Structure formats: C-alpha cells, structure tokens
Amino acid sequence: MPDLPYWRSGIWALESEAELGRRYEVSRVTVRKALERLRDEGLVAARRGAGWYVRSGTSFGQTLALGSFQHARSAVADAGLALTRTVSGYEYRALPPDVAHLLRAEGEGLRVRAVRLAGGNPLDVVTEWVPLAFASPVSRADAEAPGVWETLRRHGHDIEVVRQSIAATGATESVARQLDTTPGAPVLLVRRLAVGADGVPLALSEHRYLGHRFRLEVEFRGGPGPGPATDPPGVTPVP
C-alpha cells in the first residue's frame, strides 16, 4: 500500500476506505465516520471518482480599513493562487422582499449564481442581484468573466460606496454540495451592496464562504476618547 497520504493527480490523496480499514484494523463504518468528522473540520474532502484527499491548508484574509474596500481576488492573488468563477445560474425573476428593499427596486431583477474556486478548491458560493434598470449589459458570459460588478463599471456605472454586512450561518444542502462540505457546516455570509455615485444601489451580492478558508480583518481609525466607556468605533445597534 502507498504511504499515507500520497501525491496523485495534483492532490494529496488518501487510501481508499477499505485500505484504511485494513491498515488500522477497524471497520469501514468506523473509517467513514472518522473521515466525515475530518471533513466537517475542513481537513479532508472527497471527490466523486477521486476518493478522499487532504484539503489545501490555504486560507484567505480580507483587510477592511475604514473608507476602503479590497476585493477577495487580491487576497487570493497574494497567496499565489488562481481564482476562477463558474456561473451555475442566470435568470430574471421577481426580487425577494429583502433584496427589493436593499436595492430600492420593484418587480424583476437579474439573479446570477456562481461558485468560485481558489487554487482549484471551493472558496465561496455567490448570489448576485441586479435591478432591471441596470441588468441589460450583463450577459451570462460577462457574469462569469469579468464579473457582474466589473461589467457594470465598464458600462459607466461607477461604484461609489460598498455597504457590507457579515453574519455566521450554516451551509444549506445546496451550498454544501457546491462547497464540497456537509450541510450545517460553518459558513461566513458576507452581503455587499454596491451603490453608485448618485446614491442609487446598483447590485447586491451574497457570498457564502467556507468558514475555515476565509476571514475578515477590520481596522478602526482612532480610539475611544476620554470619559465614560463606550462601544468600539463603528459599532451601532442592530434594529
């Protein structure tokens, strides 16, 4: 039997479940439970036809300074890896109430769904909404490359402000399947609203990042002044 793990087809592969059972003298059920636990912790993954393999240890950090916005692409590029994007859904449909409220739009809009890979490993699942008034220049091909926001910019819609919210959630079955993880696995939900120079929202994107592969680092300018203790800068009540 090969050493554990071993290099195969560009990944560090594990032996088959049967081989692992024989090596460690345990049942295949025990092996499967152990591998699934390691998968939930983000250490290993499985591909159909390729078996189990060791996940890349690379994680990405996005630094957010007050008044600036850095795209995740730069963090991935800094790690020396390629970021690829595959559109899995492209359709016009009714805006959900919460999306319509944020976009200040009614009726239909363009919904784009995509999966992004960093170095060939899943990074996030993206859902993007564009109001009907701005959606016509965004073809399916453009949504894949250069992307929805860049396509809007190339058609004269400059983004003046990005409003971002961050929440923790669990992967749904659909998201888990696309991120190659298990339902309920920790996912970082990052919602970004792009606003034009005239104050009109241009697009809304929802990124569901694998919790162990992405982090957000926030920098606040200044510190608390003299007097009674106050909340940290930038903290506001949640309605």
Q: Is the pLDDT score of 219 beyond 70?
A: no
pLDDT of residue 46: 76
| Residue 46 or residue 187, greater confidence | 187
The residue ranking higher by pLDDT, 62 or 166, is: 166
Asked whether the predicted pLDDT for residue 21 surpasses 80, the reply is yes
Per the CB < 8 A criterion, the answer to whether 143 and 116 are in contact is no
Residue in 114, 115, 137 with CA at minimum distance from that of residue 202:
137
72-86, 103-117, 181-195: the lowest-pLDDT one = 72-86
What is the distance between the alpha carbons of residues 163 and 201, in angstroms, rounded to a whole number? 10
Instruction: Map residue 65 onto helix, strand or coil.
Output: strand
Question: Would you state the pLDDT for residue 120?
Answer: 84
In the chain, the percentage of residues whose pLDDT exceeds 70 is: 74
Backbone Cα Rg of the chain: 21
**Given this model, what pLDDT does residue 193 score?**
93
Select the more confidently predicted residue: 82 or 124: 124
Full set of structural domains in the chain with CATH: 6-54 (1.10.10.10), 60-219 (3.40.1410.10)
To the nearest whole number, what is the mean pLDDT of the chain? 81
Instruction: Give the model's confidence band at 239: pLDDT under 50 very low, under 70 low, under 90 confident, else very high.
Output: very low
Q: Of the candidates 113, 157, 160, which has an alpha carbon nearest to the alpha carbon of residue 135? A: 157
Whether residue 238 has pLDDT greater than 50 = no
Average pLDDT in the 97-103 region? 93
Residue pair 138/109 in contact by the 8 Å Cβ criterion: no
Q: What is the mean pLDDT of residues 60-72?
A: 53
Cα–Cα distances (Å) from 14 to 11, 32, 154, in that order, read: 9, 12, 46
Q: 44-48, 124-128, 164-168: which has the highest mean pLDDT?
A: 124-128
pLDDT of 16 reads: 86
pLDDT at position 119, please?
82
Return the pLDDT at 227: 53
Averaged pLDDT, 104-121:
93
208 SS3 class: strand
For helices 28-40 and 17-24, angle between their N-to-C axes, nearest 10 degrees:
110
